[in-house]
Chains A and B, each alone.
Chain A
Amino acid sequence: MIAAALPILYPRELLRSFGVLPVELWGPPGTKTAIADRWLQAYTCSIIRGGLAFLAGGGQDHADIILVPHGCDSLQGLGSVLLDFPVLSKPALSFYHPRTRSRASVDYLEAEIESLAEELQKITGREATDALEATIREEEADSVLAKLLAGRLQVALSCRDYYRLVRCREYLPAEQFTALARPWLSSESGPSSAMPVLLSGVVPEPSGLLDALNEAGAVVVADDTIACGRRLTPEGRDQSAYRRMAERMASAPPCPTRGASVEERSRHLLDLAKRSGAKAVVFAVVKFCEPELFQLPLLKTALERAGLRTTILEVDVTEPLPQQLKTRMEALLETMS
């Protein structure tokens, strides 16, 4: 079975233990969003409008379940609309990740995972099997992804191809992703003269953004996007599968969608920049994305105080990258060269 999963706060391993493969929807690029106008206002972000338009326009035929985790007010709205109105023909599920970090949050998360498991059982008509093994397989895949993201310069791929590989994590089964990505960990590439940048924001879309970075003489050496860097969760310790899933989710890198503060995020970004040698931070922010937009002024100030250059590119993931944003990126890199 396939679950069309909107971003991003959900336990992949739980779905796998029910024989469901989550395939994430981040737009998708090129989707005509007009079909979503019937249910969503124009001030909803392009990821959500695009996701709904894709599903309503026939994409749901490829899915058995629609999963809308609660990552922000707009995802909340979409999930609620899908649960309450006959918009799509496939069953919808929701999942709430707490915005605080404490033992009580992990307890809540574990109970929420159990609730989702009950829903999955009803839909799939089967029990979860090998949930702990499924979790360990996801942990291995995350470990490979973490190494791939940390060793970007060893991978002799253009930014576009590199992210094509990284983002297989959004839809491939964990074991297939691990098998596909692991060989790249031992690859080697020559020294790079490109300007090292850290990519933050929501998602490395539209892909023209990555081409524009390369063309302007830059290379992404570290990632803090919600779609990639912020999905990395460490290995769990607990031998109870659901508790382990909850612990892992609660330990992901700081993200405003999970309630991380500005201070936590600036520390994390500065650490990423230091470890990767990044000289600038590019924020690829989706228009109307409140979780990201609120923190940007303070993050920008903190990063610039530490000597990093920053630029903000506000994008629509369903549209090509506007020339104006390419020019802004070029201007940033020119001032640094």
Chain B
Amino acid sequence: MSAAGRLRYLFGVHIAGRAALRFERLRSEHKMRSRESWRHRHLERPLDVSPRLKELISRHYLTGRYANGARKVAWVTSGAPIEVLTALNIFPIYPENHGAVCGIRRTAEEYCKHAEAAGYSRDLCSYARTDIGSILSGKTPVGRLPRPDVLICCTNICQTVLYWYQVLAHHFGVPLVIIDTPFLYREAPSHAVAFVKNQIEDSIPVLERIAGRSLSHGRLRDVTRMSRDACELWLRIVESGRMKPSPITAFDQFIHLAPIVEMRGHRYTVDYYASMLRELNTRVGRGMGALKDERKRLLWDNLPIWFRVRWLGDLLAERGVSLVASTYTNAWAELADMIDPERPLDSCASVYLHPILNRGTGHKLETMKRMIDYYEVDGVLLHSDRSCKPYSIGQLPQRESLSSEAGVPALLIEADHNDPRSFSEEQVRNRLDAFLEVLGV
């Protein structure tokens, strides 16, 4: 790490960057306060904390932009055990989240085409193609991504990340740390927990060498505590969808999810979610829903269709349909009580083995049934995501069971989380229209 790099980092992130982002946030907050009337016909005004979210995300990518030369950087999968990294002050970049940003900003298709021109099949995950295409083309909507010093790949979300990160390791010529989490068809066997813990322990000396410092177990405990606190707050936030009307939709959750994925283990993330929860509680107290007229409530399964989040949100809102919960955003909440700061490595092994995507199709069905009851939904939208087989395979028998056992109608929507070429707007609209008719809206 160079003195010049540190100076650039200090100035770019902590002085100029922070001031500029703070100014931008204050400007947005002022604009939101001074706005006389929110003009959307069906949606209530956005949450007041939204400018803070934008500031947090922008600061994260700004930090990344200046990180090389000042801090060590790890590119990590969304389900990776981040607490050790954070305790070692290694800065994490999440290619999946970057992929989602590219999807929302509508640049993913261009990057996918770059990857395909380099020989990567269109049948591969569109996050991976977006990321690889972004690297090969040097383009990104976030300014610049820092070069990684290490890659951390945890297979608890899919096997795809393993092949994807092997490509990254080849490209960047940096170490790849794999945390292999055996898939749980049933309850976790003790040998699987031991295997994961062993790998996490083995990764520590590697990461210490890269970070140039030793892991402080006190610091790891503090980071783990803040991860748990953030996850608990996030749980209460997603559970506020239980209220009628719901003060938040799954579309809001998709956007406000970024800090719990990218910034777990930090005080500012805990503070942010505490503010968000306060605001949601205030809205509940006033009987204010995310929709002006909530008539029906739905559950969402799978990743969002990032390039059509707004389109789908508007389409449902104009029919008075609120997407009050999603299995996807629930995934970062449901394991909160497994996180134990006093046993950080043991609980880490257990927590990172148990995400919904690392568990069987029957477990997901039971989760959906519980959510149907808890959130009192009228139906389920299952996004059959061409790019996410672990999430999608199983949805066909799940749909049958939801109808026959849980007694709620479920619609399968064929799409892709990031590649618009695998999405037919007309087809989805027609199927949704028919489904909403069945629901009586």
Contact = CB atoms under 8 A, between A and B. Distances in A.
B362 A85 contact: yes
A41 B393 contact: yes
Interface string A17-42: 00000000000000000000011110
Contacts of A291: 159, 163
Interface of B: 118-121, 123-125, 128, 155, 158-160, 162-164, 166-167, 169-170, 176, 178, 180, 182-183, 185-186, 189, 191-192, 194-195, 198-199, 202, 360-362, 365, 384, 386, 389-390, 392-397, 401
Given A74-B389, A259-B162, A259-B180, A79 B185 contact: yes
Interface string A48-80: 000000000000000000000010111011111
B159 A96 contact: no
Contacts of B396: 38-41
Given A43-B123, A43-B386, A288-B123, A76 B159 contact: yes
Given A73-B158, A73-B390, A74-B393, A261 B166 contact: yes
Contacts of B202: 102, 104
B135 to A, nearest CB: 13
Given A73-B160, A83-B362, A293 B124 contact: yes
Given A74-B393, A112-B191, A98 B170 contact: no
B152 to A, nearest CB: 13
A112 B389 CA distance: 24
Contacts of B192: 96, 108
B203 to A, nearest CB: 11
B167 A294 contact: yes
B226 to A, nearest CB: 29
Interface of A: 38-41, 43-44, 70, 72-74, 76-81, 83-85, 87, 94, 96, 98-100, 102, 104-105, 107-108, 111-112, 115, 256, 259, 261-263, 287-288, 290-291, 293-298, 300, 314
A226 to B, nearest CB: 14
Contacts of A288: 123
Contacts of B392: 41, 77
Given A79-B185, A85-B361, A262-B170, A290 B163 contact: yes
Given A76-B159, A100-B178, A296-B121, 6 more contacts: A41-B386, A41-B393, A76-B390, A108-B192, A259-B162, A295-B167
**Contact residues of A: prevailing secondary structure:** helix
18 contacts: A38-B397, A40-B393, A80-B360, A83-B185, A85-B361, A98-B182, A98-B195, A102-B202, A104-B202, A105-B180, A107-B195, A108-B192, A108-B195, A112-B191, A261-B166, A262-B167, A290-B125, A298-B170
B198 A104 contact: yes
A297 B119 CA distance: 5
A104 B384 contact: no
Contacts of B162: 99, 256, 259
Contacts of B164: 294
Point out which of A72, A100, A290, A300 has the most chain B C-beta atoms below 10 A from its C-beta: A290
The 8 closest A-B pairs by CB, nearest first: A77-B393, A84-B362, A297-B119, A111-B191, A294-B163, A108-B195, A85-B397, A73-B389
Contact of A76 (B128, B183, B397): B183
A72 B198 CA distance: 23
Contacts of B194: 107-108
A99 to B, nearest CB: 4
B150 to A, nearest CB: 15
A298 B168 CA distance: 11
A102 B392 CA distance: 32
A77 B159 contact: no
Given A81-B393, A108-B191, A295 B360 contact: no
A18 B119 CA distance: 45
A81 B160 CA distance: 19
A294 B397 contact: no
Point out which of B164, B389, B397 has the most chain A C-beta atoms below 10 A from its C-beta: B389
Contact of A96 (B182, B384, B394): B182
A266 B422 CA distance: 32
A72 B386 CA distance: 15
Contacts of A40: 393, 396
A118 to B, nearest CB: 10
Given A73-B158, A73-B159, A291-B159, A83 B121 contact: no
